[in-house]
Structure 1
Amino acid sequence: MRKLVLAVGVALSLAACSAGSAGKDTTVIIPQGASLTKAAELLEEAGAIDDAGAFVRNAKIFGGGAIHPGEYEIKKGTSARTIMTMLEEGKTKQRFVMVPQGMPSILVYEKLMAEPKLTGTIAVPAEGSILPDTYSFQAGESRASVVKRMQSAMDKAFAELWAKKSPSSVVKNRNEAMTLASIVEKETGKAEERKTVAGVYSNRLTQGIKLQADPTIIYPITKGKPLGRRILRSEIDAVNDYNTYAMTGLPKGPIANPGKASIEAVLNPAKTDYIYFVARGDGGHIFAKTLDEHNANVEKWYEIRRQRGEM
């Protein structure tokens, strides 16, 4: 009798491991809330297993646990036992969406809406509420849930950075911090310059000098998208809630989604006497303490541009 039981167990084990092996490479999406029976039916339809009923019976005999929804890549020859393990462990195919530092929320919105594997609609996220990073998602996941993860990541990061805020920082709350950080993010592409740029803007805010940050001119026009042309004189003079050439102090809110480094820079700016800076053509800047020094630097930059035929 014992030999018979053992033989039956071996037979079932072999059936679970071999019968129903995938006959081809395939992808199967198990929806949220799907039962084991429903998952087996979907696997059979996709050609991943031969017999949904046998798959369910064997899973129950061998104590199959709860299954996870998601998109599964199943290679040709994968056994039913292995497929069941994949479902139990949630070994789903991972897809990714990247939000670069300084990306405005309108472009985050467009990127998510253009992703065909996501579902549902969203509004444009609040500017500065998204933490730039690479996020994984599963086919069939809602866009709203992805945005929620991005915003939760920003909330967590900001709380950690704010706890280490220097007394020398000029920002008084999250909106001011995110606004200034977004300007720093858009103004320099050099990691080593962020704290110095933050120090310059902190000095200007403290002394009541206009920030005169070009990206704040562009934001009301394009919501942060590239302007694609030179800024017009009329746009420099435009009075609105963002243009720091026409107003003293910070804009009313962020102009992009800054990364951790830019947020940290405005919370812990460099101690410097610099008041001015001008681009030097390689993503970096030349800094100055006086207007005369700054004007000389500007003239040097104009001469470089003239030699390049840009002016």
Structure 2
Amino acid sequence: MWRNIASNALSFLVVLVFLGAGVLIWGQNQYTVEGPLTQPICLQVERGATMKRVSRNLADSGAISSGVLFRLGADYADKSQSLKAGSYLVPEGASMAEIVDIVTRGGASTCGTEVVYRIGVTNATVQVRELDPVSGRYEERAEFDPAAEEEPEEYKAVRQEADTRYRIALAEGVTSWQVVQELGQIGVLEGSVEVPPEGSLAPDSYEIRPGDAMADVIARMQDAQQVILARAWENRAADLPLNSPEEALTLASIIEKETGNAEERFLVASVFVNRLNRGMRLQTDPTVIYGITNGEGVLGRGLRQSELRRETPYNTYVIDGLPPTPIANPGRASIEAALNPADTDYVFFVAKTLDPADGHNFAETLDEHNANVAAYRALERANQ
């Protein structure tokens, strides 16, 4: 009899093992299979939220088939304690595994309402916008110039919402003085800083939170620029007339101010590198302007002949070689152009038209350059 009981118990255990294995396989399949979401949603994970609360929100939104399986899968992947606060775009058909990865890997929020503080070369604006999860496009809700306009009600309203995200968008070619001035006026950062060295800030987009220290934000910008510069310097072309990463940064800032056309940055870089190699003066207006303004605001007029003749550390019509510091904060593309210029014999360039977006005409000889200058002057006269 005991033998029969033992045999039946063993059979029962075998059945249980097979059933358990089947349930496990089924659960794993449900966790990784395409989810029921029929269109993208914006999932908000608040600070202090738990995986249970997130799973409940997902189930209510129809994004997952089982909150229990979602939590068990997160536990099994050892991610239950790794929730990151933010607003996340959950795509159509996302599996539970994919959603767990989205809400635990961190990084910038990918949807919801955001305020963007845009610091440009000539002005600064504040933009309130919201991502439509279905179309994947941002819809502008308000935009204003904080120096000239009152704060719109839309902006005041989103400032009161706990889930509003904030970003600083730094344009290529802004000066360090401009950055510090604008950061001090946006009203969401704490503290103040001295103006950092010119060229040391990486133009990019930075997510911030109200109450962040301005010094910490500036440090992030500086760290990013150091990484970009170090990598570009390591991969630089051979035989450049540049003795240090700092000189490369200075040249990159001049390239940045001379052209906003991404396709011709490497050509502009070749002109300056060729001039340095031949012992020719750079003769570039943006350096002269920086010597007048010190990067504090925009000159707002053309250069005078007396200014082009005046000897300053930044007047490249008078001094040899590079100026002593960068004249703006160059972006990654200009840094890479400075350290890997196009292979040309160009030593001159002048604007093609009165619209800077149209780029420049390049020349190898003075005669060719003079002809290009004459064509540009004719356009100026016709416009007048």
Counterpart for residue 127 of structure 1: 198
Secondary structure of the 1:219 match is helix
CA distance in 1, matches of 2:228, 2:167: 20
CA distance in 1, matches of 2:324, 2:190: 33
1:93 is displaced (CA, Å) by 3.8
Counterpart for residue 104 of structure 1: 175
1:241 matched to 2:316: no
CA distance in 2, matches of 1:247, 1:260: 27
User: Percent identity over the alignment?
Assistant: 45
* Greater than 2 Å deviation, 4+ residue runs: 64-68, 89-94
Please tell me whether the aligned partners of residues 168 and 269 of structure 1 are also in contact (alpha carbons under 8 angstroms): no
1:178 matched to 2:253: no
The AA in structure 1 aligned to 2:216 is S
Q: Point out the structure with the larger strand share.
A: 2
Deviations 1:160-197 (A, max 9, x none): 11121110432121111000000000001111111111
1:212 matched to 2:283: yes
- In the TM superposition, what are the counterparts of 1:152-231 in structure 2 within 5 Å? 152-224=223-295, 225-231=297-303
Structure 1: state its 5+ residue gaps.
1-28, 36-63, 73-85
Q: How many residues align?
A: 234
The AA in structure 1 aligned to 2:248 is A
Counterpart for residue 293 of structure 1: 368
Counterpart for residue 348 of structure 2: 276
Which has the higher relative contact order, 1 or 2, with Cα contacts under 8 A spaced 6 or more apart? Answer: 1
CA distance in 1, matches of 2:367, 2:82: 72
The AA in structure 2 aligned to 1:181 is A
CA distance in 2, matches of 1:188, 1:212: 15
Secondary structure of the 1:179 match is helix
1:65 is displaced (CA, Å) by 7.3
CA distance in 2, matches of 1:178, 1:234: 28
1:67 is displaced (CA, Å) by 10
Structure 1 residues 67 and 165, CA, compared in 2 at 3 Å: closer, same or farther? closer
The AA in structure 2 aligned to 1:288 is A
1:144 matched to 2:215: yes
CA distance in 1, matches of 2:81, 2:236: 47
Please tell me whether the aligned partners of residues 71 and 93 of structure 1 are also in contact (alpha carbons under 8 angstroms): no
CA distance in 2, matches of 1:117, 1:139: 5
Secondary structure of the 1:250 match is coil
What is the RMSD computed on CA atoms of the aligned residues?
Answer: 2.5
CA distance in 2, matches of 1:192, 1:132: 18
Please tell me whether the aligned partners of residues 118 and 142 of structure 1 are also in contact (alpha carbons under 8 angstroms): yes
Counterpart for residue 261 of structure 1: 333
Range moving further from structure 2, 282-291 or 252-261: 282-291
CA distance in 2, matches of 1:160, 1:250: 22
Structure 2: state its 5+ residue gaps.
1-45, 49-79, 88-102, 110-162
1:223 is displaced (CA, Å) by 2.2
With normalisation by structure 1, the TM-score equals: 0.70
CA distance in 1, matches of 2:82, 2:224: 28
CA distance in 1, matches of 2:195, 2:177: 6
